[in-house]
């Protein structure tokens, strides 16, 4: 039992058995739930009982009782419901707070996910493992608290020295990446204050917090990470897409503007297809995004590595008239052909029947006689073959070479007669 000096320390302090047990934990290494204080008479004192600091008491150390899955589930349910009194009663058995329920979670997981701070404090006092991971995907209480957006719970667990390195799923998704993807600024700031790596990547796709926040359009989160020096050009490993590309692809204009202002590489292409942010914007038909990227000096003629398509080509292909007009205004190469089939913007516009775009390209001086390198077809002949009669008329009227007008089996207007005689 405690010596005289230790007894005197209680003379002016809390005289409950609970306070005594907490004091004794420093000596015996067991939480109060695994201690029994007994009077010489054999009476077992409850934690709420008062005691005389100068009385003789006996300390008995207890082991955890064997815990079934059902009992672990009982504790987890009480913890998840925030039932502090019930949790206290169960721990007094004494029951192991780290026993897992039927789905591989502990009571601390349950309490942390619901934001029950008092229950978490109680479980930690009982020796709950703050870094315990679920059996299926290695989720810790900290990661659950982050995912559920419980700022104070995150603060509590970090203050209890929860390990951020252990709070990472099997796919390498760390707490900061989760907070960034959700746009939870308070949680992200807290994690960063406690030393979270702003450039840590997931192992599944190599995504950084900046990339996922840009992908989701969380402007304030993107700014926070950029202000702290996050790598603005670090691409994910699955496609090789950088933050600027994913923001442009998803149409997050202000995020793109911010990244450009911070010096993000405006021409950084994806690894898989070689698509640039400008190409993605042109493909989507996002006029304001195209305007912004061009104003920041994006390369208007940088083609994909997969098929060699330029922003002008893909805009012409999908009928984005305003974007075609704007790209031409910025000097896009109107005759740059794809490497895949050697098709020009005029050729693909004619094939798709985009009459207004055909007009724009012809007015800008596009070569009406530049044929596909794969089939040898001209814009006129492919328009005829696809039944785009107005487009075929326009191309004919603009002086398509009558000696090269037809495709291998095309007929003008489907009549079977060639307008310029036999080719």
Question: Which residues lie closer than 8 Å to 400 by C-beta, 6 or more apart?
Answer: 368, 369, 378, 379, 380
Q: How confident is the model at residue 422 (pLDDT cuts 50, 70, 90)?
A: very low
Angstrom distances, CA of residue 240 to CA of 206, 244, 269: 9, 12, 8
DSSP lists the bridge partners of residue 60 as 36
Mean pLDDT of 182-204: 96
Q: How confident is the model at residue 64 (pLDDT cuts 50, 70, 90)?
A: very high
Q: Quick: pLDDT tens for 399-416.
A: 887 666 554 443 333 333
Q: How confident is the model at residue 285 (pLDDT cuts 50, 70, 90)?
A: very high
Q: 60 phi and psi, to 5 degrees?
A: -120, 130
Q: Quick: pLDDT tens for 364-403.
A: 999 999 999 999 999 999 999 999 999 999 999 998 876 6
Q: Quick: pLDDT tens for 3-50.
A: 544 544 554 467 899 999 999 999 999 999 999 999 988 999 999 998
Query: How far is residue 380 CA from its own chain's centroid?
Result: 47
Identify the structural domains of the chain with CATH numbers, from first to last.
17-61 (no CATH), 67-163 (1.25.40.20), 299-398 (1.25.40.20)
What pLDDT does 403 receive?
Answer: 64
What pLDDT does 51 receive?
Answer: 76
160 neighbors 168 (Cβ within 8 angstroms): no
Q: Quick: pLDDT tens for 217-275.
A: 999 999 999 999 999 999 999 999 999 999 999 999 999 999 999 999 999 999 999 99
Quick check: 207 pLDDT over 50? yes
What pLDDT does 325 receive?
Answer: 98
| Total Cβ atoms within 10 A of residue 208 | 26
Taking the CA of residue 278 as centre, how many other CA atoms within 13 Å lie in the half-sphere pointing to its CB? 30
Look at residues 308, 322, 374, 377 and name the one whose alpha carbon lies nearest to residue 346: 377
Question: pTM value?
Answer: 0.88
Look at residues 186, 234, 189, 187 and name the one whose alpha carbon lies nearest to residue 212: 234
Q: Quick: pLDDT tens for 141-152.
A: 999 999 999 999
Angstrom distances, CA of residue 371 to CA of 166, 167, 375, 386: 60, 58, 8, 16
Q: How confident is the model at residue 324 (pLDDT cuts 50, 70, 90)?
A: very high
DSSP structure string for 179-231 = HHHHT-HHHHHHHHHTT--TT---TTT---HHHHHHHHT-HHHHHHHHHTT--
Q: How confident is the model at residue 189 (pLDDT cuts 50, 70, 90)?
A: very high
256 neighbors 289 (Cβ within 8 angstroms): yes
Residue listed under structure tokens 């400008």: 278
Q: Quick: pLDDT tens for 92-136.
A: 999 999 999 999 999 999 999 999 999 999 999 999 999 999 877
């Amino acid at each position: 039992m405690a010596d005289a000096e230790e007894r005197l320390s209680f003379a002016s302090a809390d005289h409950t058995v609970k306070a005594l047990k907490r004091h004794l934990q420093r000596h015996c290494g067991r939480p109060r739930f695994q201690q029994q204080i007994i009077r010489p008479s054999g009476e077992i004192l409850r934690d709420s009982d008062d005691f005389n600091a100068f009385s003789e008491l006996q300390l008995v150390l207890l082991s955890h009782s064997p815990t079934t899955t059902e009992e672990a589930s009982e504790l987890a349910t009480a913890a998840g419901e925030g039932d502090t009194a019930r949790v206290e009663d169960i721990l007094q058995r004494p029951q192991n707070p780290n026993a897992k329920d039927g789905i591989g979670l502990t009571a601390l997981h349950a309490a942390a996910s619901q934001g029950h701070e008092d229950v978490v404090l109680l479980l930690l006092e009982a020796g709950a493992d703050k870094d315990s991971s679920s059996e299926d995907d290695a989720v810790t209480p900290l990661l659950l608290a982050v995912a559920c957006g419980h700022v104070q719970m995150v603060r509590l667990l970090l203050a209890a020295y929860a390990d951020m390195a252990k709070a990472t799923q099997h796919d390498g998704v760390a707490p900061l990446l989760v907070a960034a993807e959700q746009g939870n600024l308070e949680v992200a700031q807290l994690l960063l204050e406690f030393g979270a790596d702003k450039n840590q990547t997931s192992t599944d796709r190599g995504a950084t917090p900046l990339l996922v926040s840009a992908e989701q359009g969380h402007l304030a989160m993107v700014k926070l990470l950029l202000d702290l020096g996050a790598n603005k050009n670090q691409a994910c490993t699955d496609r090789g897409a950088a933050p600027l590309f994913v923001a442009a692809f998803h149409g997050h204009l202000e995020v793109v503007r911010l990244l450009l202002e911070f010096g993000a590489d405006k021409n950084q292409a994806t690894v898989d297809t070689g698509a640039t942010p400008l190409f993605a914007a042109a493909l989507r038909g996002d006029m304001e995004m195209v305007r912004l990227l061009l104003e920041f000096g994006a390369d208007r003629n940088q083609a994909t590595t997969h098929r060699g398509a330029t922003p002008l080509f893909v805009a012409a292909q999908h009928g984005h008239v305003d974007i075609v007009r704007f790209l031409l205004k910025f000097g896009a190469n109107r005759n740059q052909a794809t490497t895949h089939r050697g098709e020009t913007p005029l050729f693909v516009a004619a094939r798709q029947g985009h009459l207004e775009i055909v007009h724009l390209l012809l007015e800008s001086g596009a070569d009406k006689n530049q044929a596909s390198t794969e089939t040898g077809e001209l814009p006129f002949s492919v328009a005829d073959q696809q039944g785009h009669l107005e487009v075929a008329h326009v191309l004919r009227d603009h002086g398509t070479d009558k000696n090269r007008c037809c495709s291998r089996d095309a007929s003008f207007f489907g009549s079977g007669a060639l307008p310029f005689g036999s080719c």
